[in-house]
A = this chain, B = another copy of it.
């Protein structure tokens, strides 16, 4: 039996129990600022409120897109009212589509079933374009002039973080923290090895070297 996992950032007025319908099992779960509480199999659907208690909805959306666990989720933004500007922003933040709230259980299911039956292809959403370099957060893929760069998970995270902070010297400590490495404490020299591997990967894809070493300080992603 198929499973459909639905995550919401806020409580629904109505009940949230899992149930089975039409040969599919629907599960509901809360979605916190740190992302989904549990890992699931099967397609994920996330509904993000425009306003949230702890975190702006757009930021939540971006985080979902950045989180490797939810990269394949279909993200729907919940708008309070039909503002064209907000719609555009929502999509730009990585949402796949939007509904005009408030959210009811019926609205959620309508959405999911409609899209499922239509077999929507989730198009790539969150994308950086920095010169010749493109970073596709949804597909977890980086390209240099359309040429895919073969990156290991850590290298991808590193590139993403550098690209998010262009033209800014990042110390080795910044980079370690930026990749969320805590335990065990990482030796700063290890960052050199990361950079080396990342550079080699970009080069192997025919790319240049956007990563500048700043002696005795750190590294910069050079833009322009």
Q: Which residues of A approach B to under 8 Å, CB–CB?
A: 22, 54-56, 58-59, 62, 84-86, 88-89, 91-92, 100, 102, 104, 106-107, 109-110, 113-114, 117, 119-122, 125, 129, 136, 138-140, 152-153, 165-170, 174, 177-178, 180, 214-217, 220, 222-224
Contacts and interface: CB of A to CB of B under 8 A. Distances in A.
Given A54-B22, A113-B59, A120-B165, A88 B224 contact: yes
A71 B16 CA distance: 36
Nearest to A104: B85
B56 A119 contact: no
Q: How many copies does the complex hold?
A: 2
16 contacts: A55-B113, A56-B106, A56-B109, A56-B110, A58-B114, A85-B104, A91-B166, A119-B174, A119-B180, A122-B168, A138-B168, A138-B169, A139-B169, A139-B222, A140-B214, A140-B220
A140 to B, nearest CB: 5
Given A56-B106, A119-B177, A119-B180, 10 more contacts: A56-B109, A59-B114, A88-B224, A119-B174, A120-B170, A138-B168, A138-B169, A139-B167, A139-B222, A152-B215
Contacts of A177: 119-120
Contact of A167 (B89, B91, B220): B91
Nearest to A59: B114
B140 A58 contact: no
Nearest to A217: B140
Instruction: Specify which of A54, A106, A166 lies most central, judged by the most chain B CB atoms within 10 Å of its CB.
Output: A106
The 9 A-B residue pairs with the shortest CB-CB distance, nearest first, are A139-B167, A138-B168, A56-B110, A88-B224, A59-B114, A119-B177, A119-B178, A58-B110, A140-B169
Contacts of A22: 54
Contact of A216 (B102, B109, B153): B153
